Structure 1
Amino acid sequence: MKKWLLPMFMVVVLVLAACGNKEDSAKKENEDNASSTAETITYQSETGPIEVPANPQRVVVLSSFVGDLIQLGVDVVGVDSWAADNPNFKESIKDAVVVENTDIEKIIELDPDLIIGLNGIENADKLAEIAPTVLFTYGKVDYLQQFIEIGKVVNKEEEATKWVADFKKRAAEAGSEIKAKIGENATVTVAEMFNKQMYVYGDNWGRGTEILYQEMGLNMPEKVKQDALKPGYFAISSEVLNEYAGDYVIFSTFNGQESSIADAPWYKDLEAVKNGHLFEINGNAFYFNDPITLEYQLTFFKEKFLQ
């Protein structure tokens, strides 16, 4: 090759290389943009892959997951009656419509782009014809992983995962403080009066049980462990609550029953009441185990146990 051609050849090579790099960069950028603005994503549900909107705008929730979506900043247009009665959700779902899985026409009118509910509900096939429908089996994964799964469905897994890590850390720290205050061996019972029926709860049935027993590591009375741990809850008569009551009792009531319960003989006989260790709470606000409710429960426990 003649010497004067060499510089010219090198220039051409460099220009072509630069063009190629620019095209590759542009292609990658386009691919990234396409990925971030994709209209749908695929969620691996319990029953197989489901194509769901990458940025859902109108979600109908037919179960206990409303608080998960509120935490993730996702708009909810339809909710179940339990969520509608939760004062922690009131402002976030003020424009949402109360629906059940049987309200097919009502749900169609809401024009949802995503439906979330629990497995085994009636009309699941009809709901799937209205919008992509993701159903979960309660308890199939633990309560924090459930939030992460909701995050995956609405394309916010990273955000959900970060919240879970932070919550576990804060709950564990609070648990250490509480045990230092009440003693390592102190026991805690979670009980509830609903429609004149008394219940005690295990460690995975909402009402603060997950925080108290799983994250804080507080002790469950043996009688509660024996009857309620495996099924999640156990119905008892109010007269035998003393047999299940620990050193501390978290007691939920609904529909303004507080005054009538406080006057009941069995209530006055509880050691936890005599010692000022029974903490009453609005059951509607304490019912779930989503991030909004968990934050409320954690604040409540810190205020009551550490006061």
Structure 2
Amino acid sequence: MPVNQRPIYALALRLMAMLALSAMLLLVKLTGERGIPLTETLFWRQFLPGIALLGWLASRGELARLRTQRLWSHARRAFVGGTGMFFTLGVVQILPLAEATVLGFTSPIFAVMLAAGLLGEKVGPWRWMAVLLGLAGIVIIAGPDRAHIPLNGLATGICAAFLVAVISIQLRDLGRTEEPVSVVFWFSAFCTPVLALFFFRNGSPHHDLAGWAMLAGIGATGLAAQLLMTAALRYGSVASVIVMDYSQFGWATLWGWLVFAHVPGPQTWIGAPAIIAAGLIIAWREQVRGSAAGPRPPAA
């Protein structure tokens, strides 16, 4: 085992990252219920981490790490990522937290389909079986009862997962030449001015203290989740820590029960394991393929 590998510590960091991420989604849902426009929530979600990252690099005299020769690639990633973020945060304002979180777990399924269709990657029977299993889980959760999962919420969740899969392909490309801090910063730098246009038009400057605390909490928990996920990958491999990502369903169910008195229905409890199993199969096969191909440079 390499010296810097600490598997248990990495798992703990990833678990804390999922807790922070679930807390961010809870705050997004609460801001929606308080009437704060989603565009304003998105603005603070991007602006606060971007400023924090810029200040941190400036204090260390490391602003040169943000230099890039691929501004157009960053701009495209920001367009797709910003759209994906709109759907990802928007779905929690439509659906209960647990159901919205489970739909987000379908992004590896779409990533496999995109890799086969756009990248010409050879996909074996194990991953195709996982795709079918995941799609079956979506059908089970959706069910015939539109009161359980409204159609607009289902569509928003699936769009969010699909765009996350597209972003994963973009990050794979950017990771060949760009540092993770550069990718995160330029994402905020491109998204924040666009979101500011909507913010100054539709923002609500009359928030009370609780509203401002929620918006600050969204930025803080989002940044904490990013830092914790990055730290987890420093001490453990993707394949070893990704299992903790599915703990987010547990956190979301807990928040939904404590804050909104919502308990997922039987359709969710049947469909969620199918989607989670599909994601774990895909992660396992990616690990097998990576081991067979030898070590690869880390992605952003």
Whether TM exceeds 0.5 here: the answer is no
| Higher percent of residues as strand | 1
**TM-score of the two chains, using structure 1 as the length reference:** 0.22
Greater helix proportion = 2
TM-score by length of 2: 0.23
Q: Mark the structure with the bigger radius of gyration.
A: 1
Q: Which has the higher contact order (CA 8 A, sep 6+)?
A: 2
